[in-house]
Every structure is written in C-alpha cells, then in structure tokens.
Amino acid sequence: MATDFVPFPPLAALAAALTAGRTTSRALVEAALERIADPNGQGSTVFLEVDAERARATADALDRLRAAGTVLSPLAGIPVSVKDLFDVAGQVTRAGSRVLADAPPARADAPAVARLRRAGAVIVGRTNMTEFAYSGLGLNPHYGTPLSPYRRNEAGEARIAGGSSSGAAASVADGMAAVALGSDTGGSIRIPAALCGLTGFKPTASRVPRQGAVPLSTTLDSFGPIGVSVSCCALVDRILAGLEPHVPAARPLEGVRLGILTHYVTDDMEPAVAFAVETATKHLEAAGAILADVHFAPLEQLVSLNRFGFSGMEAYAWHRPLIEQHADRYDPRVLVRIEKGARATAADYLELLAQRAALLETAQDTLWRRFDAIIAPTVPITPPRVSECDADDAAYARINALVLRNPSVFNLLDACAVSLPCHPRGQAPVGLMLAAAPHADDALLAIARAAERVLESIR
C-alpha cells in the first residue's frame, strides 16, 4: 500500500519556523530524506541521485551560521530538488537518459544551481524527467515514471505527474523537497504543476542564465520553480534571476485586465477542467478583475508554424553526434521527435525565426497592450492514467500533443506564465494559467498572488 505524503508548508512558513527555532535545517532535510527513502513511497523513481551526505553536512553548516546570526536568504536551510537536466559539480548530468550515463561528472554547478546554493538552499538530489526533456507526459522507460498524487493509491489508477519535469513536481507533491528547480520549453514546469495540484512558474526565457544545462531548444528553454504557492515560486525565481530575494507584493485585482482566450486552448477540454476554469474566472471577476474574451487569430497557424519547430531543429543539431553513435540507447519515442529536425533546412529555420518575430509583434498589439495577463487552462485534461499514455505510440503522441498545446503557446510568445491550482479540493487537479508580456515577470507574479487568494477561497 502506497503511503500518502503531504507537501512541506510554504517557504515563508518554513523560514519563520527556522527563525523562531521551532525547527532546524537538519530536521527539514531529514524529513525530506526519510520520505525519499520510504519503501512505500516513490522516492526511488522520483530521484535519480540522492545527495544525502552532502545535504546533511550543508544543513548542519547552515544551522551553525543561523545560530551565529547569519541567514543567507529566506531559502536558507530549506531542502530543494534539482532536475537532472542541470549540472551539479561532481555529478553526472544524464538528462534522464542512458545516452549520457557514462559522461564525466560536471566540473561546476550550473549558474541556476550556484545561485540556489549561494542563497543557502540545501540540494537533496537530482530528479527524474522525460529523457532530454522532450515530452509533456513524464514517461521514462529507463528510470521509471513519477506519478501524480491524484488517486495514486487506487488500483489501476496510477496517473502521470506530467513532464518533462515529472520528478520535480512529484518531489514537491510528496514532501521530498520544499521546492524544485525545473525547466520549461513547451510547458515542462507548468504541465506537471497542473497535474500534481501545485504552482509552477515559467519566467521570460532570458531571465535566468541557461548555461550548464542540457538544452532542448536554445530559443525557448527557460528555468524556473515548482512549489506549493505563488510566493514560493516568486522567491525562488528572484534568486534564480540574481535579484534581491524578496517576494513582490500582491497586486489587488480591482481593475486588473484579464483576457480569456476563447478558442484553440479550449478545444477538447474535459468537463472537469471547463468547470474549474469557468468557476475560477467568475470569482476573479467578482474580486474586481476586468475580464474580456480575446480571439488571437495566429493560434490557428501554430500547427503549420511548428512543422519542425525550434525544439525539433535545435535539438537535432545538439544530438546529431550522439545519435550517430548511440541511437540504440534513446527512448524511441524521444528519438523519433528529435530526428524530425534532420529534415529541416536552413531556409526552414530562417523562415521560422521570421514567423516568430511577426507573431511577437502581433501579440504585443493584440494581447499585451490590452491586458495585464491572459488566462487559459494550463492543460485541457485532468491527469491521464499511465496506462493510457503508454498504450501505444499513437496514444502517446495524441496525449502528448494535447498536454503541450496550451503552455507551448506562451513559450513561442516569449511570455512569462504561471500555473495555479483551481480545482475543487479533493477533485482531479486542474491548473489555471496566467501569462503576461515578456519581462513582466514580477508584475505577473504580483497578480498571481492576488488570484491565488481568490482561488484558495473556493477550494
């Protein structure tokens, strides 16, 4: 029988408990490690590497610093997980693959990891993911598939955590870390956040340095947090961005202009998702937000625009030498997507750059000048069963395309975006996505904090 785990409290509550002496960093880390090691849990699937010895030593050092009056940041002493995509000094960065299992250990931390360490985060380990981050489902045939907490203890009901940051979300949902570092190229933070009932923030792509991580798309990749609240994500985001570690104040919703996308993102939406999103928008309006439907015509062009896509072309350029030597080690469902990029030409790539530039200009006029944020369902379905996703290649491709569809819109628009849980408590997880213009990250998080309060009142 699987054990029901609960997430850690929000970061602010943990920081307050540390300050008041009600807990210690070592105690928090031991709690996380105990949950990872619990044979009734999924720690052995969620984590590809657990750095228990270093985590304990770091926690003890931070406790001594705190006793001496030094606190590096509000994140100091708190257990954090890191997606297997990122370099951690002395560890092998496998990116969820067998292909890189024999690669030499990283010589230095990725800048995102280094910034977390400087803020006093205690890194407990590396989390599982879709191989090379190239799927929204989180299935991994090499290391296992992390699960959503939804109905996990019911026979035959195992649901995907979502991907590609599957282990990142599962680590937070099960209290194996208080917050997780993930990546998002087409929804890989927001999808698992939505399917696990958590909050996930995808920043503007250039906000966080992207060195020291295995790339999927050098154009679209962005790095950000998954946590239990907007404030958790906002704090970690500012640390990752090299900014002062404080959380932007909530912006009252009175007069905030919210645009509701009316097509494309609502196609094939499950009734439970439609109900949760409609209920959420009604309560946001009742709280003072000004809501208006918006039809963004270029969405109909996205299928043709993504014939190869940045991910396909840029991933193939990076993987080509590895495929020539180790094609047999790849997840076949990931390999077939990467190899599509081989058919693209330089002209295709230049045309895609030009089309995206035109799309960004249209979005500026149609979306960002008119609205403070855009609303859409993060994912149009509730967490599907693992058995559905893994039934055959056709089912895998269909469900994968569906879960990636909505969040990938905002990667292409270079927007910042956050997924907030909006489902009735005890029901299947549903995410409400709020997105804003490039570089409006702090402004979006301020709106999201106020929206979160409204959503919590109906959950």
Quick one: which of 379, 327, 37, 372 has its CA closest to 186?
379
Check pLDDT > 90 for residue 304. no
Helix (H) or strand (E) holding 281: helix 271-286
- Burial class of 426 by CB neighbour count within 10 A (0 to 12, 13 to 18, 19+): exposed
Q: Tell me the per-residue pLDDT of 326-377, one tens digit each, with 9 for 90 and over.
A: 999 999 999 999 999 999 999 999 999 999 999 999 999 999 999 999 999 9
pLDDT value of residue 399: 98
229 is catalytic: no
- Output the DSSP codes for 60-98: HHHHHHHHTT----TTTT-EEEEETTB--TTS---TT-S
Give me the mean pLDDT over the 198-227 stretch.
98
**Whole-number Cα distances in Å, 412 to 2, 106, 250, 331:** 39, 30, 27, 26
Locate 225 and state its tokens. Answer: 């947090």
Q: Note the residue count of the chain.
A: 459
Of the pLDDT bands very low, low, confident and very high (cuts 50, 70, 90), residue 321 is: very high
Q: Given a cut of 50, is residue 236 above it in pLDDT?
A: yes
Contact 59, 26 (CB under 8 A): yes
Question: Strand 199-202 vs strand 416-421: parallel, antiparallel, or unpaired?
Answer: antiparallel
Closest CA to 442 of 219, 112, 193, 201: 201
For helices 441-457 and 271-286, angle between their N-to-C axes, nearest 10 degrees: 100
Q: How far apart are CA 266 and CA 258, in angstroms?
A: 16
Q: Residue 217: is the preceding peptide bond cis (ω within 30°)?
A: no
For residues 219-239, average pLDDT:
98
- The set of residues, in sequence order, having a beta carbon less than 8 Å from that of 307 and lying 6+ positions away, is 348
Q: Which residue out of 25, 171, 188, 311 is catalytically annotated?
A: 188
| CA 65/CA 71 separation, integer angstroms | 7
Q: One of 73, 83, 183, 419 is an active-site residue; which one?
A: 83
User: Is 188 an annotated catalytic residue?
Assistant: yes
Residue 152 CA to residue 46 CA, distance in Å, equals: 14
Token pair of 357, please?
Answer: 């530039």
- Nearest alpha carbon to residue 136 among 339, 364, 402, 335: 402
Which residues face 351 on adjacent strands?
none
Task: Reply yes or no on whether the pLDDT at 152 is more than 70.
Answer: yes
Q: Is residue 228 predicted with pLDDT exceeding 90?
A: yes
DSSP string, 153-206: TSTT--BB--SSSHHHHHHHHTTS-SEEEEEESSSTTHHHHHHTT-EEEE--GG
Residues 6+ apart with CB under 8 A from 375: 258, 259, 260, 261, 277, 281, 284, 291, 432, 433, 434
Residue 101 main-chain phi, psi, to 5 deg: -60, -30
> What is the 8-class DSSP label of residue 2?
-
Q: What pLDDT sits at residue 1?
A: 38
Separation of alpha carbons 131 and 455, rounded Å: 34
What's the mean per-residue pLDDT of the chain?
A: 96
Domains of the chain: 11-240 (3.90.1300.10), 257-307+347-444 (no CATH)
254-303 pLDDT tens trace: 999 999 999 899 999 999 999 999 999 999 999 999 999 999 999 887 76
CB 207 within 8 A of CB 184: no
Q: What is the DSSP letter of 250?
A: P
Instruction: Give the pLDDT confidence score for residue 299 in this predicted structure.
Output: 87
pLDDT of residue 3: 60
Rg (alpha carbons) of the chain, rounded to whole number = 21
CB distance 419 to 410 below 8 Å: no
What is the residue-wise DSSP string for 347-411?
HHHHHHHHHHHHHHHHHIIIIITT-SEEEEESSSSPPPBHHHHTS-HHHHHHHHHHHHHHHHHHH
Q: If DSSP codes are grouped into helix, strand and coil, which group holds residue 427?
A: coil
Q: Which two tokens stand for residue 85?
A: 């995509």
Compute the average pLDDT of residues 64-70.
98
Neighbours of 147 (CB within 10 A): 26
Both structure tokens of 255: 């007069």
Distance (Å, whole) CA 95 – CA 373? 33
Annotated active-site residue in 25, 164, 171, 222: 164
Judge whether 164 counts as a catalytic residue.
Answer: yes
In angstroms, the Cα distances linking 333 to 234, 342, 380 are 34, 16, 22
